[in-house]
Structure 1
Amino acid sequence: MHKTHLLIDNQDVATDDYLEVRDPGRTADIVGLLAQGTAAHVDQAVQAAHRAYAGWRDTPLSQRQALLTQAADLLAAEGPGVAELMARESGMLVPTNKAEAGMSAAIIRDNVDLATEFLKPLQVEDEASWVSVEKRSIGVIAGIIPWNAPIILTMRKLAPALVCGNTLVLKPAPTAALGLSALLKKIAALFPPGVINVVHGGAEVGTALTTHPLVRKVSFTGGGAVAKAIMKAAADSIKGVQFELGGNDPAIVLADANLDDVIPKIVGGVFRRSGQFCFAVKRIYVQRPIYDAFFEKFIAEVDRFKVGHPLAEGATFGPVNNRAQFEYLQGLAERTRAAGAELIELGSKLDASTWDDGYYLLPAVVKHAAPDLEVVVNEQFGPIIPIVAFDDVEEAIRLANDSELGLASSVWSRDADQAVAIASRIEAGMTFINNAGTSRIGQKNSPFGGVKQSGIGRESSEVGLSEYVEYHAINFHK
């Protein structure tokens, strides 16, 4: 059984309390024990990061980049080795976890590549004076990470923060911390002590991190309710915050879409990680002339899923991560049926005899969902998808924008000009055309984040790097 301690100053730190991390596919199985920190541990970690900061800030950029490149190589080589452990603690499929390690290594390399030009000062001059605008590191950064894609979402914070010269205290989610922490311990060993610290725990640790006077910025990925609490906690010391808070992402499918090409991509965009990722397609708007054809092909594709334990041979769909989300999704399905909607469960149980041992749900599709139905207007974060009919483009855009969330969105059409025109009118941080995610150059160059209540600030690209610097202007008068 894995026993994971805190990591402070590159040393394991034992605590008086350890949380049992259970397998969401076999809830009687304890996967490992996770140290639970206190406010005192947070202070130790922040003090260690603060001590390390001056030396790390003054380390030449080329050396910071070299160490991060080593970290990317380590992650690519050793990440797949914790894929089964991560599957057992998170419920995500083993191939998904293996792919996550490779994507995370690419995130580090992207930030290393972008930093050289980004960190150069901007200099302008005329006859009277010259100006130099420099980008400086901030200090100690607190990174708070969710459970659904823990390595990727950690590296989106770690890589830009470190390459810009900051130090880190990270708080992983308790239900997906074992595999991530094993990797972070190896990565931290590449860097000077105190540059990367990891403190596990609940609300006490979160509050201590977000109120500590030496923490200069909080980067959080998760839900809006926690983000509001962080903003209030950060206000006393006027910390910076960067939030990625999920979304209720619309997909608009136009009548000219090639359904044979579109539907497998949308199904993947809905149900990857059992629907548990922030920019998953959460509501589908289909133009009425093709609605019936789309629906029939869509449910046929979804019906191929085999739901079971992520380590079971043949499983193509795992359990949801935790009891609270499981119960919320069960209730959402019941309320959807009670509202008179037609909710169709699809897929098959890989092993029905063990179905009640975990947080298993069959994927479900809601036919002819009303635009104001709860499952349409609220983010599900699970394997339930409503499909809504629309008549014209103006209606589709109005429905897509009728939300206080605005993370990602997608448009599906053979008409490139029309698709781009629609995309430009959607209130979201990102719009994908004819896919449900970013391309490789998109991953490097697209700012990742949302508008309205889907977040503050961005990750990825040079815009993501800018979250981890302060600007200092020098104006010399001749």
Structure 2
Amino acid sequence: MTQHLMTIDGESRDSSNRFDVINPATGEPFATAPEADAVILDDAMAGAERAFRSWKLDDDARRDALRSAAAALNDAIPRIAPLLTQEQGKPLNEAIFEVAGVGMWLQYYADLEVEREILQDDDAAFVEVVRRPIGVVAAIAPWNFPLLLSSWKIAPALRAGNTVVLKPSPYTPLSSLAMVEVLNRALPPGVLNVVTGGDALGAAMTAHPTPRKVSFTGSVSAGKKVAVASAADLKRVTLELGGNDPAIVLDDADPAVIGKQLFSAAFQNNGQTCIAVKRVYVPERLHDAVVDALVAEAERAVVGDGMDEKTQFGPINNRPQFDRVRALVDGALSSGARAVAGGTALERPGYFFAPTILTGARDGTAIVDEEQFGPALPVIPYRDLDDAVERANATSFGLGASVWATDTERGESVARRLDAGSAWVNTHAALAPHLPFGGFKWSGVGVENGTWGYKSFTDLQVVHRRKQ
């Protein structure tokens, strides 16, 4: 099997312990990754701490390095994207898009103009807010968009003057190892480090005394553990913890127009997207027409190996998630729901599940109340719009939501009532480097992206100079 190495303090590092990386299209190992132990983690933290002393001093140098890193990564897309498809499962064209997105985020933060924050400048005093880097950042990334979501942490953290130790998911370590190797061609030693391993390594990172901030993307249960561990020595935290995004279709919507868009919003990355539509509320009189439009899309979908250019949707990334999606669908069916499309795993090697549209699923069942994170979508009728809004908000999640309407002003008025960090009208998951991203309630703590993301990697210092 191909050997992949960690990058620590600018040098490649292997480990005596390695773990298998599974290709979700086959369900079989296709490579191994090194598993970091306590000594390796200590070395990574120490290297990042040493690099911080000089990296924090020169903003212009940081901007130039990020631009060079973006260019190097763009040149490496043909090498990294196929690796991402092999370990994550997404179609190759989407993997290419994801790697290119990392370059976009790096370029955005390199070009970001950070305005001075002068609070007072008069005869009495000059008072300015100065943004100071926090120090070493522990960044823990998920398996659904392992490269793009890690860049949401790496790019603003480095631009602000911090150094980073990254841990990718054990399901998708290889593309992250390759990405960091490329980025380090443009970065000084120790500025960006990557260690690989399982949950025990993540716990060790959050408990380690060196990092002053933890930026984590993952499940609510894991995020709570990160918060508790970080509180022991008052580390700063940013937590992006997923969602159960509702979509509300208004009574003036045209099912023929919105069907394709709704399907795409729900099934992007095979539904393995924290910001994907997870449940759809539809007026009773439009219910059947919307369902028919979604079913038509599901039946046309091509599910297969992401390396096949005909594939639109790859496999579910890993066996535990595959089993969870199957259990949620089976539970819905046993509770009276009906699969009008899909509803079963596909009879082939790997973790393939048919795109599934469910009717008759009720609020209070797991497929509606929880984040399924897979290719299954319940469609739920409503009679009263106020009731639909209340049901959409009756969740511990609050990441994203969308409203679908012909009258866009009315759609916006409904969107503003939804308890979500992002609320869209006639679109969903419209994300960009300059737009803040975060959630309400259990969907997270803090904000990523834009100037807000940059500032989240800084401590605020007030400099007050009395004038004579």
TM-score, normalised on structure 2? 0.96
Q: Is the aligned partner of 1:55 residue 2:54?
A: yes
Q: Is the aligned partner of 1:39 residue 2:35?
A: no
Q: Which residue of 2 aligns with 1:13?
A: 13
Instruction: Please identify, of 231-240 and 215-224, the stretch whose mean Cα deviation from structure 2 is larger.
Output: 231-240
Instruction: Please identify, of 219-228 and 68-77, the stretch whose mean Cα deviation from structure 2 is larger.
Output: 68-77
Q: Which amino acid aligns with 1:464?
A: G
Distance apart, 1:341 and its partner CA = 1.1
- Runs (5+) with no aligned partner, structure 2: none
Matched-pair contact (CA < 8 Å) for 1:304–1:347: no
Q: Which residue of 1 aligns with 2:450?
A: 461
Report SS of the residue matched to 2:327. helix
Q: Which amino acid aligns with 1:430?
A: S
Matched-pair contact (CA < 8 Å) for 1:21–1:175: yes
**Cα distance in structure 1, aligned partners of 2:183 and 2:218:** 24
The one of 392, 399, 412 equivalent to 1:400 is 392
**Cα distance in structure 2, aligned partners of 1:70 and 1:337:** 52
Q: Which residue of 2 aligns with 1:158?
A: 154
Matched-pair contact (CA < 8 Å) for 1:336–1:343: no
Identity between Structure 1 and Structure 2 (%): 34
**Cα distance in structure 2, aligned partners of 1:445 and 1:189:** 26
Q: Render the CA deviation track for 1:206-264: whole Å, top value 9, x for unaligned.
A: 12211111100000000011111111111211101100001000001111113233111
Distance apart, 1:347 and its partner CA = 9.9
Q: Is the aligned partner of 1:235 residue 2:231?
A: yes
Q: Which amino acid aligns with 2:441?
A: K
Report SS of the residue matched to 1:406. coil
**Cα distance in structure 2, aligned partners of 1:242 and 1:196:** 19
**Cα distance in structure 1, aligned partners of 2:409 and 2:381:** 22
Q: Which residue of 1 aligns with 2:253?
A: 257
Q: Which residue of 2 aligns with 1:382?
A: 374
Distance apart, 1:348 and its partner CA = 11
Q: Which amino acid aligns with 1:394?
A: D
The one of 345, 359, 364 equivalent to 2:351 is 359
**Cα distance in structure 1, aligned partners of 2:344 and 2:326:** 17
Q: Render the CA deviation track for 1:284-321: whole Å, top value 9, x for unaligned.
A: 01122211111111111111112222123522221101
The one of 163, 170, 175 equivalent to 1:167 is 163
The one of 233, 245, 252 equivalent to 2:241 is 245
Cα separation, partners in 2 of 1:412 and 1:446, compared to 1, 3 Å:
same
Matched-pair contact (CA < 8 Å) for 2:336–2:360: no
Report SS of the residue matched to 1:99. helix
**Cα distance in structure 2, aligned partners of 1:191 and 1:445:** 23
**Cα distance in structure 1, aligned partners of 2:117 and 2:54:** 21
Matched-pair contact (CA < 8 Å) for 1:38–1:204: no
Q: Render the CA deviation track for 1:369-391: whole Å, top value 9, x for unaligned.
A: 22222211111000110001112
Report SS of the residue matched to 1:435. coil
Matched-pair contact (CA < 8 Å) for 1:252–1:285: yes
Distance apart, 1:123 and its partner CA = 4.1
Q: Is the aligned partner of 1:117 residue 2:114?
A: yes
Q: Which amino acid aligns with 1:24?
A: P
Matched-pair contact (CA < 8 Å) for 1:320–1:382: yes
Q: Which residue of 2 aligns with 1:449?
A: 438
Distance apart, 1:77 and its partner CA = 2.2
**Cα distance in structure 2, aligned partners of 1:293 and 1:451:** 32
Q: Render the CA deviation track for 1:127-185: whole Å, top value 9, x for unaligned.
A: 33221110110100000001100111011001000001000000011111112211211
Q: Which residue of 2 aligns with 1:26?
A: 26
Q: Is the aligned partner of 1:269 residue 2:258?
A: no
What RMSD, in angstroms, separates the aligned Cα atoms of the two structures? 1.6
Q: Which amino acid aligns with 1:65?
A: R
TM-score, normalised on structure 1? 0.94
Report SS of the residue matched to 2:123. coil
The ranges of structure 1 where at least 4 consecutive aligned residues each deviate by more than 4 angstroms after the TM superposition are none
Matched-pair contact (CA < 8 Å) for 2:83–2:174: yes
Instruction: Please identify, of 137-146 and 67-76, the stretch whose mean Cα deviation from structure 2 is larger.
Output: 67-76
Q: Render the CA deviation track for 1:24-44: whole Å, top value 9, x for unaligned.
A: 11123x321100001221111
- Runs (5+) with no aligned partner, structure 1: none
Q: Which residue of 1 aligns with 2:4?
A: 4
Q: Which residue of 1 aligns with 2:428?
A: 436
Q: Which residue of 2 aligns with 1:108?
A: 106
Report SS of the residue matched to 2:3. strand
Matched-pair contact (CA < 8 Å) for 2:255–2:286: no
Q: Which residue of 2 aligns with 1:89?
A: 87
**Cα distance in structure 2, aligned partners of 1:147 and 1:389:** 33
**Cα distance in structure 2, aligned partners of 1:263 and 1:80:** 33
**Cα distance in structure 2, aligned partners of 1:376 and 1:433:** 21
Q: Which amino acid aligns with 1:35?
A: P
**Cα distance in structure 1, aligned partners of 2:78 and 2:262:** 27
**Cα distance in structure 1, aligned partners of 2:141 and 2:163:** 16
Report SS of the residue matched to 1:320. coil
Report how many aligned residue pairs link the two structures: 467
